[in-house]
Amino acid sequence: SKPLVAIVGRPNVGKSTLFNKLAGVRLSIVEDTPGVTRDRIYADCEWRDRRFALVDTGGIEPYSQDIILSQMRRQAELAIEKADVIVLVTDLKSGVVATDAEVAVLLQKSGKPLLLCVNKCDSIGAPPAEFYEFYNLGLGDPIPVSAAHGHGTGDLLDAVYDLL
Ligand code: GDP
Ligand code: MG
């Protein structure tokens, strides 16, 4: 069967927006309310000569007591269990937050091929200084993307392709 690429990260970083952009369809729910994606949503994707399934997940909140968030975490962990490639999405606007570091550790432990995506890099040209903070997550070169505008999604797909 097709390899599975999972989009994970904390609520509101733009996972569903990215999913929709990559899938080229509006299937996922995008809301300002954090953690609105409660179900895993799949799309069949094709990039260059490879096909893969893409899955959108809710956010990961490792230390949250909240039942909805812990349910979403379980969904994300399920996706992690099944994924061949994981894309950790972070947010330039909020910068690196503690949860990103926690999730990065969780994902590194999964041993799966992993990409670090910095979303909301909306302006064209050299990334702003804050972008370089994301190197501190220790996941290699962050990939700047604007899911809203579509900038960088081709580079992200190329990086996914290389790991398939
Ligand atoms: P999720 O909770 O991680 O799935 O995040 P969503 O995709 O629901 O997006 C959360 C918010 O971030 C929404 O208000 C989106 O419009 C906004 N957003 C998503 N991608 C971008 C982007 O590339 N740039 C900007 N400026 N906002 C974005
Ligand atoms: Mg979502």
Ligand 1 atom, smallest distance to 10 CA: 3
Q: Is the CB of 14 under 6 A from ligand 1?
A: yes
**What is residue 149's predicted lDDT score, i.e. its pLDDT?**
96
**What is residue 46's predicted lDDT score, i.e. its pLDDT?**
87
Q: What is the mean pLDDT of the chain?
A: 83
Position 38 pLDDT exceeds 80: no
Ligand 1 atom, smallest distance to 35 CA: 2
Pairing of strands 50-56, 4-8: parallel
What fold, for 4-163? Rossmann fold (3.40.50)
Reading the block at residue 118, the tokens are 């910095």
| pLDDT per residue as tens digits for the range 71-125 | 556 656 776 788 999 999 999 999 998 888 888 888 888 889 999 999 999 999 9
Domain ranges of the chain: 4-163
Q: Is residue 15 within 8 Å of residue 6, measured between CB atoms?
A: no
Binding residues for GTP are 9-16, 56-60, 119-122
The pTM score is: 0.87
Q: Is the CB of 31 under 6 A from ligand 1?
A: yes
Confidence of residue 28 (pLDDT cuts 50, 70, 90): very low
Q: Is the CB of 15 under 6 A from ligand 1?
A: yes
